[in-house]
Amino acid sequence: MVVTYHRPTRAIIHRKALKENIKHEVDRLAAGVELFAVVKADGYGHGAVATAQVALAAGATGFCVATLDEAIELREAGITEPILVLSVVFPSYLSLVVDYDLSITVATKDWLMEAQEVLKDLEETTAPIKLHIKVDTGMGRIGFLTPAEVKEAAEMIEASPNMIWEGLFTHFSTADEKDTAYWHKQAERFKAVTDTLDHLPRYVHSSNSATALWHDTEMPGNMIRYGVGMYGLNPSGHELPETYPLKPALELVSELIQVKELAAGEGVGYGKTYDTSEKEWIGTVPIGYADGWLRKMQGFSLLVEGEFCEIIGRVCMDQLMIRLPREFKVGTKVTLIGKNNGQEITMQAVADHLATIHYEVCCMLSERVPRIYQE
Ligand X SMILES: *Cc1c(COP(=O)(O)O)cnc(C)c1O
State the binding string over 77-116 for ligand X (x if CB under 6 A, else -). ---------x------------------------------
Choosing from 19, 40, 130, 134, which is the catalytic residue? 40
SS3 state of residue 281 = strand
**Which of 131, 157, 187, 228 lies at the binding interface for ligand X (CB under 6 A)?**
228
**Which of 38, 154, 187, 309 lies at the binding interface for ligand X (CB under 6 A)?**
38
Residues 6+ apart with CB under 8 A from 300: 310, 311, 350, 353
Whole-angstrom Cα distance, residue 152 to residue 146?
A: 10
- Residue 317, marked binder: yes
**Which of 21, 209, 254, 298 lies at the binding interface for ligand X (CB under 6 A)?**
209
* Alpha helices, DSSP H, located in 197-328: 209-214
Are 75 and 49 spatial neighbours (Cβ–Cβ below 8 Å)? no
Q: By C-beta, is 208 or 276 nearer to ligand X?
A: 208
**# binding residues, ligand X (CB under 6 A):** 13
N residues, the chain: 375
Residue type, 293: W
Measured between alpha carbons, how far is residue 236 from residues 3, 100, 349 in Å? 32, 35, 14
Minimum distance between the CB of residue 274 and ligand X, rounded to whole angstroms? 37
Q: By C-beta, is 311 or 361 nearer to ligand X?
A: 361
Q: Is 309 near ligand X (CB under 6 A)?
A: no
Q: Which residues pair with 250 in a beta bridge?
A: 13
Minimum distance between the CB of residue 175 and ligand X, rounded to whole angstroms? 8
Candidate segments 24-32, 189-197, 228-236, 308-316, binder of ligand X by CB under 6 A: 228-236
Q: Which residues pair with 130 in a beta bridge?
A: 103, 164
Q: By C-beta, is 67 or 366 nearer to ligand X?
A: 67
Q: By C-beta, is 227 or 338 nearer to ligand X?
A: 227
Q: Is 347 near ligand X (CB under 6 A)?
A: no
Minimum distance between the CB of residue 227 and ligand X, rounded to whole angstroms? 2
Q: In 3-state terms, the chain is what percent helix, strand and coil (to 5)?
A: 30, 25, 40
Whole-angstrom Cα distance, residue 181 to residue 106?
A: 28
Minimum distance between the CB of residue 237 and ligand X, rounded to whole angstroms? 11
Longest dimension (CA), the chain: 79
Q: Is 254 near ligand X (CB under 6 A)?
A: no
Candidate segments 221-229, 266-274, 278-286, 341-349, binder of ligand X by CB under 6 A: 221-229
Is 40 marked active-site? yes
Q: Is 227 near ligand X (CB under 6 A)?
A: yes
Choosing from 109, 120, 244, 270, which is the catalytic residue? 270
Are 278 and 322 spatial neighbours (Cβ–Cβ below 8 Å)? no
Footprint (CB under 6 A) of ligand X, residues 162-181 = 171
Candidate segments 6-14, 194-202, 205-213, 283-291, binder of ligand X by CB under 6 A: 205-213
The candidate with the shortest Cα–Cα distance to 293, out of 366, 357, 228, is: 366
Q: How many CB atoms lie within 10 A of CB 176?
A: 21
Minimum distance between the CB of residue 143 and ligand X, rounded to whole angstroms? 10
Whole-angstrom Cα distance, residue 159 to residue 324?
A: 69
Minimum distance between the CB of residue 90 and ligand X, rounded to whole angstroms? 18
- Residue 141, marked binder: yes
Q: Is 137 near ligand X (CB under 6 A)?
A: no
Minimum distance between the CB of residue 62 and ligand X, rounded to whole angstroms? 13
Are 67 and 53 spatial neighbours (Cβ–Cβ below 8 Å)? no
Q: Is 221 near ligand X (CB under 6 A)?
A: no
Are 337 and 346 spatial neighbours (Cβ–Cβ below 8 Å)? yes
Whole-angstrom Cα distance, residue 360 to residue 350?
A: 10
Q: Which residues pair with 275 in a beta bridge?
A: 267
* Alpha helices, DSSP H, located in 230-374: 347-353, 358-364
The footprint of ligand X (CB under 6 A) covers 38, 40, 86, 171, 208-210, 225-229, 235
Give catalytic residues, as residue numbers.
Answer: 40, 270
Instruction: Tell me the binding residues.
Output: 141, 317
Going by the annotation, the residues of the binding site for substrate are: 141, 317
